[in-house]
Structure 1
Amino acid sequence: MKIETDVLDVIRAARCDGSALFLSGQLTDHLYQRVNLALSAVGGKWDRWKRAHVFPASAADAVAGLLAEGEVATDAERGYFPTPPALVDEILDLADLSVGHEVLEPSAGTGAIAERVADRGGVVDCVELDPRRAQSIRDKGYAREVITADFLTLPVSAHYDRVVMNPPFARQLDIQHVQRALRWLRPGGRLVSVMFGSLTFRTNAQALDFRSRVREARGTITPLPDRWFRGISTVVTVIPVRQLPELVGRRTVQVQASGQKAAQGGLF
């Protein structure tokens, strides 16, 4: 999102005091709304008691990049849509989560799903690209590990019982994230993901291939009510990862050789 000059002027004139940023002068409603949008995109939240926008860390550091570049990515542009609490419970029910399960939440946002995993007795690790959100999860203390990174760039570590996720939707990134996440599951694991609703009707090769593989894996793609994401069409996808056959004798070597593929996502 490109920041207009009048918005930048207001932010430059603001006073920073630790994590708080105080706006100067009287702003019209229209100007304030645009300023608030820009500050929110870099982590600022209006605190009516302090009469300031408060950031997770230094306010001056938070707005420095915005002022230098004159633009910022909004949550919508990043494809970030927080998971409503009631939907989180549905996702975890579909995941068939048990106490002690090792669970991964890629693109964890503020940890809406991960925190409920921990509440249900799961051992949860998180990956989140945004440093502020990643730190917020660390500060709450329910995650075993929090990695600040782009999930698609991380080396695969296939040792999880469950993956639960709400990935970015833009440019079919949700398909890429789910395909990648399946490779992090042990045989017998299960992935549950919110995905963009266009998955059910797109006819490009990527969507057609993905739907075919979900069917082959005996997974499901189920439409969700539009109310969950402010009118945005979404689905919930459930994909089981196959168990390896129990073989003995000379065939054990073959199982071990083929097991790597199964452990890294089965049909995917």
Structure 2
Amino acid sequence: MPLPADDAVRAVVAQVGRAGTYRLLFSVLASHQGHDVPAALEHPSLADRDLPPLLAHLAESVPPGETDPTADLLGLGDLHQRLLADEERRSAGAWFTPWPLVEHLLDLSMPAGDDVTTVLDPACGAGVFLAAATRRLVARAGPAADVVDLVVRHVHGVDLDADAVELARVVLWLELLPWLDPAGPLPGLALRVGDTLGDAAPDHAAYDVVVGNPPFLNQLERATAQERVAAERVRREDPGLYGAYTDLSAVFLARAATWVRPGGRVALVQPVSLLAARDAGAVRARLAETCVVEGLWTSDGRAFDASVETCAPVLRRRMGAEAQGTVDRSGGVPPVPSPAVPAGDLGGSWGHLLAAGLGVPALVWRTDGALGDLATCTADFRDQYYGLAGAVEEGAGPGRAPLVTSGLVEPARCDWGERPTRFLKQAWQAPAVVLDRLPAELAAWAAARLVPKVLVGTQGRVVEAVADPEGRWLPSVPVISVVPERDRLWHVLAVLLAPPVSVHAATAYAGAAMSPTAIKLSARQVAAIPLPVRVEQWDEAASLLSDGQEAGLVEAARLMCTAYDVPPGPVLDWWLGRALRSPRGRPRSARPAPGRAHGR
């Protein structure tokens, strides 16, 4: 049955609020299916109201169509999201979960044959996960079961949004329509309005399955005042587990692993950054200790209206000393299975679980030492970014330093002045910092950066680095500056452009960037990049790059595979397919561009 048009629903919402409107919609939908449920209209927002005209208004606006319980369920959830203002939805981190993904996560967390009884959605919203779980529990219970009692006792949900919880009740009552007593009260359900991480915290080890799509509210340090209070509370309860940039969804995941019994499963949608972000590292380590990672779904694109790539690890709480097996993979909406991958070391990054499905080749290499042994790696901060306002103008000239943004850094090439970029929300063709306009503190910063160095961009398909041997360029946040020891500039560049290094970064840190296929490194991670063992080939690659960065790029890359004792085949081919590509998608020229620092 199609739902009433939005304008009809909004007109009723204006009179009785969202919760009252959801009760009226339940009455209309139940009546359409041949059920009269008078108790549906027993709600505070409907008291002393002239209900027949409101019911008629909703019913009359419903276009003709066949009853489809799944369509009604999805329509109600989508309706609630549309009734939320955009800002209200973003601040709550509320995004509707596609039905194929709901079913897939329940297939993984409630597999056929498992004795699953009690299910929790800790951020239940409109109740889509709970309704789908209810259908499975009812189907497994058999014809003699007391279905209403089963759902009342074993389907649990919590949410901060009281209106969403009211809609979740309506959704579950619609699932129970065939078993409801029309003359009796509507059954009370185990749905609560509250903070799952605070006043409405579930009991430990009380559930067989925890499933859902918790809010993506970005980092804890950016939360509202009320949310910061909650953040401080969870930090006190789990000291050292959450950092300033930990996403709230990762807190839900860590807690969920304590809410299931040994052998119970957790499947919660997460931003893909969970797999590699530094401030989720302690969460991953804790989960690796307490759970077996059975599967991983990844969005393979943005599955929600939210502008973020997503994933959903499927965890099973360990029963004794269980060994970690391979990890099943799936991706997309509707989800499509991928080959299982070895679990590897799950105490650190889980990026390799993502990389395995992205065509990143396997890497076996030999290394000795780290880049931080011969260079200082530094990332600048917002003070340097915003402090340059008023000191940036177009074009080069005396007393000016070209400002190089991350998007201008390509492997062995800087595109400053050749294509536009953005800085401080403004488009620039050739942004330059007028040095004598800088205050003393920023002048000291600029002097420290205007030295021979290698600049490393972020969000690239490979590690993107270019040498600045004359020390002419100023990096714009988040470009990383790598200042080498004397006479080691070109050796540093050779390491950063080495195909095995990009494979390593794409594997270890998959999911940390805005796109799963991009590479994002911190200054600390750049410093930790391993050095090669074969010095002769490393020296030769450095010499080639010093004679002409872009001209020597391909041969240097080949030499650096040998320097790391890596057969050049799949690793080099993968790197070439990503590195030799212009920003506009055309093959790159190997000719150094005029005016670039490209020699000794």
TM-score (norm. length: structure 1): 0.62
Deviation of the 1:106 alpha carbon: 0.6
Q: Which AA in structure 1 matches 2:106?
A: L
Structure 1 stretches of 4+ with a deviation exceeding 4 A read: 97-100
CA distances 1:183-222 after superposition (whole Å, capped 9, x unpaired): 2111111101100111123123xx1122233344331444
The 3-state SS of whatever aligns with 1:218 is: strand
Q: Which AA in structure 1 matches 2:104?
A: E
Aligned match of 1:109: 125
Aligned match of 2:308: 232
Q: Distance in 2 between matches of 1:187 and 1:50?
A: 45
User: Structure 1 residues 51 and 235 mapped into 2: Cα distance closer, same or farther (>3 Å)?
Assistant: closer
User: Structure 1 residues 211 and 139 mapped into 2: Cα distance closer, same or farther (>3 Å)?
Assistant: same
Q: Distance in 1 between matches of 2:212 and 2:286?
A: 19
Q: Tell me, yes or no, if structure 1 residue 189 matches structure 2 residue 264.
A: yes
Q: Distance in 1 between matches of 2:292 and 2:110?
A: 16
Q: Tell me, yes or no, if structure 1 residue 164 matches structure 2 residue 211.
A: yes
Confirm or deny: 8 A CA contact 1:107 1:151 kept in the other structure.
yes
Q: How does 1:134-145 map to 2 (within 5 A)?
A: 134-140=165-171, 141=173, 144-145=189-190
Q: Distance in 1 between matches of 2:193 and 2:19?
A: 16
User: Structure 1 residues 144 and 244 mapped into 2: Cα distance closer, same or farther (>3 Å)?
Assistant: farther
Q: Distance in 1 between matches of 2:202 and 2:308?
A: 31
Q: Distance in 1 between matches of 2:86 and 2:301?
A: 28
User: Structure 1 residues 58 and 144 mapped into 2: Cα distance closer, same or farther (>3 Å)?
Assistant: closer
Q: Tell me, yes or no, if structure 1 residue 52 matches structure 2 residue 11.
A: yes
CA distances 1:134-180 after superposition (whole Å, capped 9, x unpaired): 01112332584101101101344121111102111122001111112
Q: Tell me, yes or no, if structure 1 residue 208 matches structure 2 residue 281.
A: yes
CA distances 1:75-132 after superposition (whole Å, capped 9, x unpaired): 1121111111111011101103456521011110101111100011163111111000
The one of 318, 323, 338 equivalent to 1:242 is 318
Aligned match of 1:76: 90
Percent identity of paired positions between Structure 1 and Structure 2: 29
Q: Distance in 1 between matches of 2:120 and 2:91?
A: 24
Q: How does 1:10-29 map to 2 (within 5 A)?
A: none
User: Structure 1 residues 51 and 212 mapped into 2: Cα distance closer, same or farther (>3 Å)?
Assistant: closer
Q: Tell me, yes or no, if structure 1 residue 147 matches structure 2 residue 106.
A: no
Confirm or deny: 8 A CA contact 1:128 1:150 kept in the other structure.
yes
Q: Which AA in structure 1 matches 2:210?
A: V
Deviation of the 1:227 alpha carbon: 3.8
Confirm or deny: 8 A CA contact 1:159 1:185 kept in the other structure.
yes
Q: Distance in 2 between matches of 1:238 and 1:107?
A: 17
Aligned match of 2:109: 95
Question: Unaligned regions of 5+ residues in structure 1, if any?
Answer: 1-44, 62-70, 246-266
Q: Which AA in structure 1 matches 2:130?
A: A
Q: Which AA in structure 1 matches 2:169?
A: R
Q: Tell me, yes or no, if structure 1 residue 120 matches structure 2 residue 136.
A: yes
Q: Distance in 2 between matches of 1:197 and 1:131?
A: 29
User: Structure 1 residues 51 and 163 mapped into 2: Cα distance closer, same or farther (>3 Å)?
Assistant: closer
Aligned match of 1:254: none
- The alignment's C-alpha RMSD in Å is 2.9
Name which of structure 1's ranges 134-143 and 159-168 shifts more when overlaid on structure 2.
134-143
User: Structure 1 residues 49 and 137 mapped into 2: Cα distance closer, same or farther (>3 Å)?
Assistant: closer
CA distances 1:218-252 after superposition (whole Å, capped 9, x unpaired): 3144422224113520011111111258xxxxxxx
Q: Distance in 2 between matches of 1:239 and 1:116?
A: 20
Aligned match of 2:31: none
Aligned match of 1:68: none
Q: Distance in 2 between matches of 1:128 and 1:51?
A: 23
Q: Tell me, yes or no, if structure 1 residue 218 matches structure 2 residue 232.
A: no
Q: Distance in 1 between matches of 2:88 and 2:252?
A: 20
Name which of structure 1's ranges 218-227 and 83-92 shifts more when overlaid on structure 2.
218-227
Q: Which AA in structure 2 matches 1:82?
A: F
Q: Which AA in structure 2 matches 1:225?
A: D
Q: Distance in 1 between matches of 2:167 and 2:10?
A: 22
The one of 161, 172, 190 equivalent to 1:130 is 161
Q: Which AA in structure 1 matches 2:285?
A: S
Name which of structure 1's ranges 155-164 and 224-233 shifts more when overlaid on structure 2.
224-233
Confirm or deny: 8 A CA contact 2:209 2:260 kept in the other structure.
yes
Q: Which AA in structure 1 matches 2:316?
A: P
Q: Distance in 1 between matches of 2:110 and 2:201?
A: 26
Aligned residues: 190
Q: Distance in 2 between matches of 1:156 and 1:180?
A: 9
User: Structure 1 residues 234 and 51 mapped into 2: Cα distance closer, same or farther (>3 Å)?
Assistant: closer
Q: Distance in 1 between matches of 2:10 and 2:314?
A: 45
Q: Distance in 2 between matches of 1:116 and 1:176?
A: 24
The 3-state SS of whatever aligns with 2:164 is: helix
Whichever of the two has the greater Rg, that structure is 2
User: Structure 1 residues 52 and 233 mapped into 2: Cα distance closer, same or farther (>3 Å)?
Assistant: same
Q: Distance in 2 between matches of 1:86 and 1:168?
A: 19
Name which of structure 1's ranges 183-192 and 226-235 shifts more when overlaid on structure 2.
226-235
